[in-house]
Chains A and B, each alone.
Chain A
Amino acid sequence: MKRNSDKLLIAMLSGIGLFIVLGIVALFFIDRNGETEYPAGSPEALTQSYLKALEDNDWEKAYSYLSESVKDFRMREAYVNRKSGGYIQDDASRRLVLESSEIKDAEAKIVISISTFRSSGPLQTSDYTTRIDFRLRKEGDEWKITSPTYPPHF
């Protein structure tokens, strides 16, 4: 006859097995390219385009999303110099999520969280999340970024 502790151990193992199976099932069905589409011309859409340009190492394009009021020679240099170094080229995977957005007249505040996960095996993983507050201003028909002006680190 089995002891109570043996039964408990079997129940526990069954639970663990269930979660492992769920994990494997999830691997089959997860959506690989989740991305929210924002209305064109919205501050969220502009922030999204800016972050995409950074991730694609398209520095000219990223620079073009900055407000005219913050653009200057040194700022441009800061962007152009990233070209050679390959700013975001590593084996980490990232998830960029909109935490909140506030729009008041011609000013907007977009809060983004960028989670990074890096692993080269089950015993060598690291993950961290950074938060970036974007400030935007409407210039003509377009939203432009006024802060942060330097390419954010993530």
Chain B
Amino acid sequence: MGTTIGRLYFYVVSFITLLMVAYAAGSLVSSAIKFFLEPGSLTGDTGYWRRVLSAYLPMIIVGAPLWAVHWLASQRRAYQAPQEQQAPLRKLFLNAVLTVASLAATFNAVRFIYHFLGYLTGTSIAPVSLPPKIYDVFNAGVWLVVYSFIWYYHWEVEKEEGQSTRAARTLRRWYIYIVSLISLSVLGAGIFMNLSLIISFVTGGLAQQIAGAGTPTLLKRWSLSFAPIIGGAAWWSFHWLYLGRKDAESLLRHVYLYFFVFVGLALTVSGLGALLFEALRYAFGYRAISVSAQLSTLQYALPALIIGGGAWAYHWNVVLEDALPKGRGDLSTSSRQSLAPTGGALAGVRRRYNYLVSLAGLLSVTVGLASLIRVLLEIGFGVGQELKRSPDWWRDQLSVFIVLTVIGLAVWLPHWVRMQRLVEEEGDVERTALSRRLVLYLVIFASVIGILFNGAFLLNGLLRLVLGEPITRRFTATIFSNIGNVTVIGTFLFYHWRILNQDRELTTDISTVDRKHLMVLASPGLQNRVRQLEAALGTQITVLDEVRDAQEPAQAEVEATAFAESEVEDLVNKIKRAPSNKVLLILSPTRVEVHPYR
């Protein structure tokens, strides 16, 4: 049991048997409830109990003792040797169970509330046509109880043992942020559905009434959309607002935050784009067959705008608050500037976010502008005899590609310019950042491939034209499309190529820290010094936690004071001058050692 293989065996078996027993127990109770609540549906089914008992009882009879033997052995070991409680594999097991149980409990909480409300009101939301029955309510309730119990038991075990190692804290964070991410997505989907239903009732009110769905029915149906809102909000609040409240400097927290900043921005832009498109079409004469059809876009666009905007504003605000120095509570301009990625792992997350958004915006501009050029050429040259054309034909395409270009620009430009300004301010650290290099090379690679194909097709078309091929609409549309693509992709290729060359010319010293693999063996309580070094070096350092003898006085347990600025500078120079690409630092409260190694 003391070895890694031994632990792996015991925890894998515990995990599998636990889920098997939970599944069998939940299914058995659900089947019993079905038998008592819906006897009519089982009339004539003489083999019901035989099937149920033969399917689930063996799982419990075999699984439960196996689980008990393996789990109790793990528990006994953990209480005999306290360091076992912090073993990474044990923490992985506990957090994996917590994650699975949490997500299953969230899902079943939503099902339970939905079925309960549906049963009370006698309604359902499309595409489900029949309202839930009382069995559905109990079924969801059983699974909610099963997974909540599993979660609570392992939660108590984990809470009692605490997280005193870096691995334990990291695994705990994975659990918190995975559950926060999924429960917030459930909450967002619920709010989206709720708002969308309200808008559809308002815009299609009259039609709904005529179709026989009166206001009370609509309100009952609307009430069901509160199920994901309540379920998602409960789990998200507990995990994000409560468990994640004191974790401002965690890297994973920032990945989570920037993920939702990105999703929020994408949703906002998508909603705004849909509204702009409809406005432009309307301004240039588009009229749908009815007012409700004309306003149907609002069912998607407004919820996307509200939820995306809300998610973006909230998470961006948390990013700003986390960036504030401790004890300073205002979000002034200067503190906002502290968001600039000046080094360290958190800066890397911000940098990647900015480049990722720039890339998404650039893609939108490229597609929108290339298509706009193609449409303008088709209109200008008017090739092909038209048998018939919808009045919307050019208007819809022009509107959609203008809007795509504009929203792409609105996303790409601010993020790209922000990173360009940062390169000017921060110099080599930013210029040589891996994410920047990746983005530049990715754009250049994609552009070269785009030019290669479009250029070849364009030349092929022109040659065929010169050699006498008759001009048809399809033929010219392909040529115009190639011209649009080559023009836009070529321009962006040229621009990014120049930027890459400029970066190369201006980089003064690329042979130093970024190319070195840094590891630090740090005494407990010196995390602040490690972060200070990461910030100064602009790179991430692999940290090895020093394990101390239990008898040794805990002199380093106290959080050590930060390095003085001159000490940091001296250390950075030593690392840069180290005659190897691999450097091991040994940090203790009283000394710092730099050891180059092979």
Residues of chain A at the chain B interface (Cβ within 8 Å): 3-5, 8-9, 12-13, 15-16, 19-20, 22-24, 26-28, 30, 32-36, 44, 47-48, 51-52, 55, 91-100, 112-113, 115, 117, 119-125, 129, 131
Contacts and interface: CB of A to CB of B under 8 A. Distances in A.
A139 to B, nearest CB: 22
Interface stretch (B6-14, B311-319, B466-474, B537-545): B466-474
A47 B387 CA distance: 9
Interface in B384-441: 384-407, 409, 413, 417, 420
A94 B198 CA distance: 33
B388 A20 contact: no
Contacts of B345: none
Contacts of B470: 100
Contacts of B368: 122
Contacts of A131: 474
Given A34-B386, A120-B274, A120-B297, A19 B376 contact: yes
B548 interface: no
A94 B394 CA distance: 10
A113 B491 contact: no
Contact of B390 (A27, A47, A93, A113): A93
Interface string B269-296: 0100110111010001100100000000
B499 to A, nearest CB: 6
Contacts of B276: 122
B357 interface: no
Given A93-B393, A121-B273, A5 B498 contact: yes
A97 B394 contact: no
B401 A23 contact: yes
Nearest to A100: B472
Secondary structure of the A side of the interface? mixed
A96 B388 contact: yes
Nearest to B416: A9
A145 to B, nearest CB: 14
B373 interface: yes
Contact of B373 (A19, A112, A113): A19
Given A16-B365, A30-B379, A97-B386, 9 more contacts: A4-B502, A13-B409, A20-B405, A33-B391, A97-B474, A99-B473, A100-B470, A123-B270, A123-B273
27 contacts: A15-B491, A19-B373, A19-B405, A26-B398, A27-B284, A27-B398, A27-B399, A30-B398, A48-B387, A55-B388, A92-B390, A93-B391, A94-B389, A95-B390, A97-B385, A97-B387, A99-B473, A115-B477, A120-B300, A121-B277, A121-B300, A122-B270, A122-B364, A122-B400, A122-B403, A123-B270, A123-B273
A37 to B, nearest CB: 10
Contacts of B229: none
